[in-house]
Every structure is written in C-alpha cells, then in structure tokens.
Amino acid sequence: MPEVWRHDKDGLHVLHLTSDGTYVEQEHSASFPFLPLDQFREFLTRRNETDETTWIRSFRAWAATLKRDV
C-alpha cells in the first residue's frame, strides 16, 4: 500500500492511498508498523528545544530501542 508522510504546522500526517486513488489519513504506518507515531511526533515537536547534536543523539538512542523490539 503506497504511503505518504506529510509534516506541517499541524504535525505529522501519514496518508495511505485507497483503491479509488485518494489518500486517507491513518494512525499508523503500513511501511513502518513497528514505529510508534505518537512518540515520533513528540521527537519532531522537540526539535527546536535543544541543539541539533543532542536531538539527533536522543533520537538515535530511542530508535535503537525500537530495533531490539522488532
């Protein structure tokens, strides 16, 4: 199922292509079913709260925990 991710002032949106050719917003990713989108959204909103290096290290540490659960 084709999927589009969109990030705007309202947050992160995951859209799935339907059989009639339209996109419908979903609460999960078909491409990354193990990814908790609520937590991912939280990382995006915190991007400007710290320096880039700290933010990236924090994100990588979090992502590494996901690999162990898969």
Report if pTM > 0.75.
no
Sign of CA dihedral 20, 21, 22, 27: positive
What's the token pair of residue 8?
């705007």
Res. 4 pLDDT band, cuts 50 70 90: very high
Name residue, tokens 């994100």: 59
- Domain of 37, in residue numbers: 3-69
Domain count, the chain: 1
What's the token pair of residue 42?
């939280």
Res. 48 pLDDT band, cuts 50 70 90: confident
What torsion, rounded to 10 degrees, do the Cα atoms 26, 32, 38, 41 define?
Answer: -100
pLDDT at 1 over 70: no
What's the token pair of residue 52?
């880039």
